[in-house]
Amino acid sequence: MATASAPGKIILFGEHAVVYGRPALAVPVLQVHAVARADLVTDKRIGEKWADAILVEAPDIQLFSPLSHLLREPTPDPLASVISSVFQLLGISHPPALKITITSTIPVASGLGSGAAVSVAVIRALAAALGHSLSDEQVSQLAYETEKLHHGTPSGIDNTVIAYAKPVYFVRGQPIQIFSVARPFRLVIADTGQAAPTKESVGDVRKLWEADQHRWEAVFDKVGKIVVAAKEAVESGEIASLGPLMDANHALLQEMTVSSPELDRLVLAAKAAGANGAKLSGGGRGGNMIALVQPEKAESVASALKAAGARNTIITTIE
Ligand code: PMV
């Protein structure tokens, strides 16, 4: 038996533009996590008979699914895909029977990286149960393959920040850069309660871009500049300048049509309650927003967000 856990994540700056090669900043959120447990059933091996030899249970979402039949072919099922990719990487052609149990406190389709966190936890638990330890890079790569099933054309930021569990300055296709936080700062994360599949908002931005590449490349450039300025601010402890940068990033996300009335309402409510800056985080259209707050204002901003309709809030310190 082996267990592994993976944190949630938020994107601080740069979502969507990151799909088009601009940088983004993301950090793990340790208050929420996915946990996977892999139990090998050693007296039973998968040979000709595949039925029921691999069972995935996720009681939180009432999933009790024998997946074995999905493992023979390339599959669109994210869990089956992640499991078979581990077998493939480890060169296991006749996997033992096993049961994988997944629990998660990360809300689904809300921009906190639930899909990538489940993948990372399953990969690590399964590899450990099979007697292997994978590097963060290997785990991230495997999770990326599955992110493609969730997202369509993912940048890779979710699997990277979650597999490394460190603050990441991410540029698609480039080696991971960890950034340092000179002075801790506090964020309130608020969930609109509306699930919004990232695949759709990413697809819609793609359509905008295809119709007018010149315009949207310029918008993505503006986002890229905000991200670079935000990284410098975080690394030098200039936290005060992060608020206006968040506001500017949110305005550009609105222009990309990925905000929503609920997200905008929460952003305004946070600002009215004294947040220094606020923006949607992740794919948008629903899911989560983040607000930068002075530590002493965290509770009152969180209350204001709840009063404005937030389903749930998390107060987190980035350090
Ligand atoms: O919705 P999330 O948090 O999984 O974030 C997706 C971030 C995007 O930039 C919108 C897409 C991507 O693949 O980077």
Q: Which of 39, 136, 158, 221 is catalytic?
A: 158
Are 125 and 199 members of one domain?
Answer: no
Confidence at residue 69, expressed as pLDDT on a 0 to 100 scale: 58
Domain that holds residue 190: 181-318
Confidence at residue 54, expressed as pLDDT on a 0 to 100 scale: 81
Are 156 and 192 members of one domain?
Answer: no
Are 301 and 162 members of one domain?
Answer: no
Confidence at residue 204, expressed as pLDDT on a 0 to 100 scale: 96
Confidence at residue 72, expressed as pLDDT on a 0 to 100 scale: 60
Question: What does the block give as tokens for 297?
Answer: 């204002």
Confidence at residue 42, expressed as pLDDT on a 0 to 100 scale: 61
288 domain-assigned: yes
User: For position 264, which CATH number holds?
Assistant: 3.30.70.890
Are 17 and 166 members of one domain?
Answer: yes
175 domain-assigned: no
Q: How far apart are CA 69 and CA 79, in angstroms?
A: 12
Confidence at residue 269, expressed as pLDDT on a 0 to 100 scale: 98
Are 198 and 129 members of one domain?
Answer: no
What is the atom index within ligand 1 of the atom nearest the CA of 109?
1
29 domain-assigned: yes
224 domain-assigned: yes
208-262: pLDDT as tens digits: 999 999 999 999 999 999 999 999 999 999 999 999 999 999 999 999 999 999 9
Residue among 15, 25, 194, 205 whose CB has most ligand 1 atoms within 8 A, to mutate: 15
Confidence at residue 50, expressed as pLDDT on a 0 to 100 scale: 42
Are 166 and 210 members of one domain?
Answer: no
Backbone angles phi, psi at 188, to 5 degrees: -110, 130
Identify the domain boundary among 170, 194, 215: 170
Are 148 and 227 members of one domain?
Answer: no
Spell out the residues 6+ positions from residue 33 whose beta carbon is closer than 8 angstroms to its own: 5, 6, 7, 8, 104, 105, 106, 117, 121
Is 158 among the catalytic positions? yes
Taken in order 130, 135, 141, 147, the sign of the CA dihedral is positive
User: For position 28, which CATH number holds?
Assistant: 3.30.230.10
Are 310 and 269 members of one domain?
Answer: yes
Domain count, the chain: 2
Are 155 and 33 members of one domain?
Answer: yes
101 domain-assigned: yes
Confidence at residue 77, expressed as pLDDT on a 0 to 100 scale: 79
Identify the domain boundary among 129, 145, 170: 170
Identify the domain boundary among 110, 135, 170: 170
Residue numbers of the chain with a pLDDT score lower than 50: 45-52
Confidence at residue 59, expressed as pLDDT on a 0 to 100 scale: 81
Q: Is 160 in the pocket of ligand 1 (CB under 6 A)?
A: no
